[in-house]
Amino acid sequence: MSVLIKNGRVITAVDDYMADVFIENETVTQIGKNLEMESDETIDASGKYLFPGGLDPHTHLDMPFGGTTSADDFESGTLAAAYGGTTTLIDFAIQTKGQSTLEALDVWHKKADGKTAIDYGFHMIVTDLDDDRVHEMKLLADAGVTSYKLFMAYPGVLYVDDGTIYRAMRKAGEDGTVVCMHAENGIVIDEIVKRALAEGKTEPKYHALTRPTRMEAEGVHRAISIAEVAEVPVYIVHLSSADALEQVMLARNRGVHAFAETCPQYLFLDYSYYEKEGLQSISTDHCPFCFKDQKTLGIDDFSKIPNGGPGVENRMSLVYNGGVNAGRISLNKFVELTSTAAAKTFGLFPKKGTIAVGSDADIVVFDPNRKETISVDNPCTHHMRVDYNAYEGFEVTGFTETVLSRGKVIIKDGDYHGKKGDGQFLKRGLYGGMK
Ligand SMILES: [Zn+2]
């Protein structure tokens, strides 16, 4: 199987040039001017950008939480991602307390195996790591799971204490892997929540009002400090406030391998935050729960609302429109934020995250002029299995037109041409491509 893409403007994190791209089977084999070889399929990309497929390193598909399960499973979630120009996800497997992390990985493999439209990997959420279990982290790394996530919040469910965080970080540092942190002072926040409920403050808005940004900054500072001593790269997930970002920047300035991602909801649903510099990646934390029957679990008590929002499908257009079109970031930076940086951090570069000879042919043909209004009712912008869109009514210019996943055209003219199970599990390498 071969595909020739003609006349595209190839954009990577560092390049910007006009070229034809020739793909044989799953990989890019030639890039050049006026390529004339025979191909099974030819795509005219005149006037379009060719971006490396998006990489979303933070999703929660088919995830149990708060007495329900996230609404997208590995079939619907990866399909929605593909429509939006994302060709790789890294989802989170979760160790329940007392369970081996290797067993937990098996559970998540069963959820995803044979169902996905695009390639995927797993991080492992570690909830229980006594001394007898620490060796499992290397076994996970050998199985291609080279990053772990620890929580400083949700005591009794996901929370781990600082000793466990240090233990995990030290081992990850020795093995060349990465630790992702949900960083906020969840113990203090739970006290604030208890007080609010006792005072009759139960509406959903108190979810936000009980989470002072100083408590996020404190968690970020603590996570990075422990990582610095444990000598491990640390990746702060879904960073949401300027106070917390300041802590990341201070650490980076003294040479710590500290990274942060943010998500469209923190960029676009609170405009005051957008001007901040210094973030490395934009994921979605796609964690969809429907309003009907799911979010309403918390209608009388905000602390029972299943946390999380959908976004995996709309990330590329939102960041392009709000970043590139608004003159805030360059095209190269757009690619870095939506694909390359995460591919590098999480051991997938250069297989993923760029357009280059030998790389997987995960390519998005992107129309910079196409306008769409994001809506749950717009069949072009909403394939997520969730009954609302957080960006309802947002107008975007710049939209994914055609998507290739490992050389196969899976989205074209608004239609899906792939099949369930096309996506493969990705065994990821060590941090930053280290050996
Ligand atoms: Zn998350």
Q: Give tens-digit pLDDT for 3-21.
A: 999 999 999 999 999 999 9
What's the CA dihedral at 344, 118, 50, 47 to 10 degrees?
A: -160
- Compute the distance from residue 216 Cα to the ligand 1 centre, in Å: 15
Range of weakest confidence among 31-35, 47-51, 289-293, 309-313: 289-293
Give the pairing type, strands 281-282 and 258-262. parallel
Find the 351 Cα to ligand 1 centroid distance in Å. 25
270 CA distance to ligand 1 middle (Å) = 19
Distance of CA 323 from the midpoint of ligand 1 (Å): 23
Distance 65 CA to ligand 1 centre (A): 11
Residue 251: half-sphere exposure toward Cβ, Cα within 13 Å:
27
Give distance in angstroms: CA of 358 to centre of ligand 1.
32
Q: How far does residue 13's CA lie from ligand 1's centre (Å)?
A: 25
Task: Find the 147 Cα to ligand 1 centroid distance in Å.
Answer: 14
Q: What is the pLDDT of residue 275?
A: 46
CA distance 227 to 247: 13
How confident is the model at residue 270, as a pLDDT?
60
- 8 Å CB contact between 149 and 432: no
What pLDDT is attached to residue 134? 97
Residue with tokens 């051991």: 347
What's the 124 CA to ligand 1 centre distance in angstroms?
12
| Element of type H or E holding 43 | strand 41-44
**C-alpha of residue 309 to centroid of ligand 1, in Å:** 9
Residue 338 phi/psi, 5° resolution? Answer: -95, -10
Distance 390 CA to ligand 1 centre (A): 16
Q: Which runs of E-coded beta strand occur in 191-315?
A: 234-236, 258-262, 281-282
Cα separations in angstroms, 126 against 59, 129, 140, 305, 368 = 16, 7, 11, 23, 41
The radius of gyration of the chain's CA atoms, rounded to the nearest angstrom, is 21
Centre of ligand 1 from the C-alpha of residue 202, in Å: 23
* Residue pLDDT, tens place only, 81-103: 999 999 999 999 999 999 999 99
The model's pLDDT over 254-290, given as tens digits with 9 standing for 90+, comes to 999 999 998 888 887 764 444 445 678 888 888 877 7
Q: How far is the CA of 237 from the centre of ligand 1 (A)?
A: 7
Q: What is the largest CA-CA distance in the chain?
A: 72
Identify the pLDDT of residue 277. 55
In this structure, the chain runs to a length of: 435
What is the per-residue pLDDT for 271? 45
Gap from CA of 174 to ligand 1 centroid (Å): 26
Distance between Cα 287 and ligand 1 center (Å) = 7
Confidence tier at 124 by pLDDT (50, 70, 90): very high
C-alpha 91/C-alpha 282 separation (Å) is 14
Q: Residue 191: CB partners within 8 Å, gap ≥ 6?
A: none
Under the banding of pLDDT at 50, 70 and 90, the label for residue 127 is very high
Cα 195 to ligand 1 centre (Å): 26
Mean pLDDT of 142-158: 96
Residues 359-416: tens digit of each pLDDT: 999 999 999 999 999 999 999 999 999 999 989 999 999 999 999 999 999 999 889 9
424 residue type, one letter: Q
Ligand 1 centroid, distance to 60 Cα (angstroms): 6
User: 157 alpha carbon to ligand 1 midpoint, in Å?
Assistant: 14
Q: How far is the CA of 225 from the centre of ligand 1 (A)?
A: 22
Distance 180 CA to ligand 1 centre (A): 10
Q: Give 273 Cα–ligand 1 centroid separation in angstroms.
A: 20
CA of 58 to the centre of ligand 1 (A): 6
**Nearest 5 degrees, angle CA 342-CA 247-CA 122?**
30
Q: What are φ and ψ of residue 252, in 5° steps? A: -65, -35
Distance CA 323, CA 150 (A): 30
* Cα of 43 from ligand 1 centre, angstroms: 36
Cα 78 from Cα 62, distance rounded (Å): 11
Residue 302 reports pLDDT greater than 80 = no
> Can you name the residues that pair with 430 across neighbouring β-strands?
none
162-175 and 213-230 are packed helices; what angle lies between their axes, rounded to 10 degrees?
50
52-64 average pLDDT score: 95
What is the pTM assigned to this prediction? 0.94
**Cα of 170 from ligand 1 centre, angstroms:** 23
